[in-house]
Structure 1
Amino acid sequence: MELKLIRGGVRELNRTSSGEPYPRFEVRPSTPVIGAELRGVDLAAELDDELRAELRRALLEFKVIFFRDQEITSTRQLEIARIWGEPEANPFFPTGDEVRISRLAKDGQMFGMENVWHSDHSFLAKPARGAVLRAAEVPDNAGDTMWADMAAAYDNLPEDVQALIDGLEAEHDWISTWGRILPDDKRDALREELPTVVHPVVKVHPGTGRRTLYVNEPFTDRILGLPEAEGQALLEYLRLQARVPEYQVRFRWAPGSVAIWDNWAVQHYAINDYYPSRRVMERVAILRVTAGTDHHSDHRAVRNIRRRSPRSPAAGRLRGRFRMRRQPHAVWDSARTAAGSQRSSGEDSRDAVYWSYISHGSRSPGGR
């Protein structure tokens, strides 16, 4: 028996809400489940403790929050990130005015290839907790970003699939993506610092207690504890859940727009419909959670706890249902076509994506 990768019908859409009002700003929800524009907040001004607490609560509820017409400097963007935690640098991105700010500039020469659903830094032992993204230069009517609520994705899985994946773990790595475009010496040096890591397939969000599906297309390589073919079929099925429109929100950028998202709750996708126009974004990733705002668990501690979770008898019966024919990723398919004869017959479909980067001189296969 095969599971349908995407099914129709009614979906369960729950937004995590304390029920408390937000007296310091106006909230305009973007969808029933994810995203909200906050009005009446000047991010360039000093933010008192009460306002900071409301912003943290809004991010937990809506998972991604949007602001318009903000005039902030790079230094101020770092300060805003510190409302949630300490900023961190990305080991692969080009930087802006400050090393912890990634400057993502795309145009006719440095084209965007970020149009794949992903979670930032899942290849790290402690993935980014969130991000603050600011639009510096955007094309007209193009270059939107989308986010998907991965708690909603988990909630709508069949119960027997939930029973199977609760307690499973998956390997996350950067070698098959970033590693393909780095010089050998830099790749080998980074490999010492950034080995393959293991995360739960289902994370329990530390701020809301909700179960969240935690696998993504570019960085999750395999599910542990299952036969290879079965594990890959299950992984493919889980990856595709981010593509369900009911779990998504789409944001149209303008100069001065700011988006802040909870990287443990969502995946995101940068729409590349603007080539060869110019699009410049600046991003700050948030690493450590500020004391008192959340509870961060090390990935190994979470893994050990999850291993003690009992398996449902239904989980064992379900495994045979994942002997489906593996479906190719749309992004890999398009890249294979674009790469054409530049790709050797022995390379897998992912190679085509990164050969395409190398041949066009792009430096940034991850981004927003």
Structure 2
Amino acid sequence: MTQSTIDHRTGLRLRRLTGSIGAEVAGIDIRTADGSTAEAIARLVDDHGVLFLRDQSTDAADLTRFASLLGPLLPAHPLKPGLTGHPHVLANQTGGVTADDIRCRDRYNRHATNWHVDCTFITDVPVYSLLQAVTVQPFGGDTLFADLAGAYSGLAAPLRELADRLSCVHDAKLLYADWLLPGRDEESRERLLALPVVTHPLVAVSPRSGLRSLALNPNCVTGIEGFSQLESDTLLDLFLAHTLVPERTVRWQWAEGDIAVWDNVRLLHNYVLDHGSGERLIQRAMAGSAPLAGPDGAMSRELPLS
């Protein structure tokens, strides 16, 4: 097992989980965390992409307060309601996995789950995402993370230079296409149709660290601006395959009370549908939001209505 060390800047004990991303942090209680704790978390997220905290309170109010230390709280979801009494917390109830749920859709996606970044289909993208395990099974249901910053830095120089100049269209209707089918909830359909389509630079520069990440989100990117669909699909497929090599990933096996907090723009995440028919409840909160800025000065923007 990897040895834990004391981070000299924050005084926190941490254990790196891989050679690329991920660290388990000890010595934090979200019920008593303060501004200095939040600054330490932000520094370590800059370093490791995603942090994991064990044995925390599962009260949604405590998760909300902790998230608020990292930045202004966001609604639970741009299109879905929050947990009753906790409008900033989304309850992800993903239990009862069946054989139909795990059928392959393509090599990156599965029915009901896929690699994604949270909520890039809005102009101001969440800065930090937090997940907490409330109810989990004794096996399975792990969450995976993949490093979009490592993927960018590992590209050949001509590909980095190309990516620096590109922007992608992000459209929630790709993710929620089933909401538009006949007979579905009309209110949800209207909310989806009212949401503007946006573009983001393909490469996002972190305002905190200056780190560059591929701003990829397979569940809502419909293409690269100015490219044909064939050109877009081929190039995006290359960038995504470059991201999902094992050396750029970390996998977390949940225990109840565990919290993951990560740089939402820098990391893709996904979860594994291998926990069977039992209940699984994961709560999410998001903090901070901003348009993405590209290396050439390009910014996130809404597209005019067609």
Larger Rg: 1
TM-score, with length taken from structure 1: 0.70
**Residue of structure 2 in register with 1:77 after alignment:** 63
**Residue of structure 1 in register with 2:106 after alignment:** none
**Residue of structure 2 in register with 1:363 after alignment:** none
**Residue of structure 2 in register with 1:327 after alignment:** none
* SS in structure 2 at match of 1:83: helix
**Residue of structure 1 in register with 2:82 after alignment:** 95
Question: Could you tell me which amino acid in structure 2 is paired with residue 168 of structure 1?
Answer: L
| RMSD of aligned Cα (Å) | 2.4
* SS in structure 2 at match of 1:21: coil
* SS in structure 1 at match of 2:69: coil
Q: Is the 8 A contact 1:137 1:279 kept in 2?
A: yes
After superposition, what is the alpha-carbon deviation per residue over 1:210-245, rounded to whole angstroms, capped at 9, x for unaligned?
Answer: 110111211111001223322221122122233211
**Residue of structure 2 in register with 1:86 after alignment:** 72
Offset, 1:78? 0.8
After superposition, what is the alpha-carbon deviation per residue over 1:51-76, rounded to whole angstroms, capped at 9, x for unaligned?
Answer: 32212211111111101111242111
Q: Is the 8 A contact 1:92 1:178 kept in 2?
A: no
The alignment status of 1:179 with 2:167, answered yes or no, reads no
Question: Could you tell me which amino acid in structure 1 is paired with residue 284 of structure 2?
Answer: R
Question: Could you tell me which amino acid in structure 1 is paired with residue 47 of structure 2?
Answer: E
Q: Is the 8 A contact 1:216 1:239 kept in 2?
A: no
User: How many percent of aligned residue pairs carry the same amino acid?
Assistant: 28
Q: Answer 1 or 2: which has greater helix percent.
A: 1
Q: Out of 14, 27, 31, which is 2:14 matched to?
A: 27
Q: Out of 284, 306, 317, which is 2:298 matched to?
A: 306
Q: Distance in 1 between matches of 2:15 and 2:7?
A: 15
Q: Distance in 1 between matches of 2:277 and 2:214?
A: 34
When residues 121 and 190 of structure 1 are mapped into structure 2, their CA distance, relative to the original with a 3 A threshold, is: same
* SS in structure 2 at match of 1:82: helix
TM-score, with length taken from structure 2: 0.83
**Residue of structure 2 in register with 1:240 after alignment:** 241
* SS in structure 1 at match of 2:232: helix
The alignment status of 1:108 with 2:96, answered yes or no, reads yes
Q: Is the 8 A contact 1:31 1:249 kept in 2?
A: yes
> How do residues 205-354 of structure 1 correspond to structure 2 at under 5 angstroms?
205-288=206-289, 296=290, 298-299=291-292, 302=294, 305-306=297-298
* SS in structure 1 at match of 2:92: strand
Flag structure 1 segments of 5+ consecutive residues without an equivalent: 1-18, 289-295, 308-368
When residues 282 and 48 of structure 1 are mapped into structure 2, their CA distance, relative to the original with a 3 A threshold, is: closer
Q: Answer 1 or 2: which has greater strand percent.
A: 2
After superposition, what is the alpha-carbon deviation per residue over 1:23-71, rounded to whole angstroms, capped at 9, x for unaligned?
Answer: 43201111122111001111122x2333322122111111111011112
Q: Distance in 2 between matches of 1:35 and 1:160?
A: 29
Q: Distance in 2 between matches of 1:81 and 1:236?
A: 33
Flag structure 2 segments of 5+ consecutive residues without an equivalent: 1-5, 103-110, 300-306
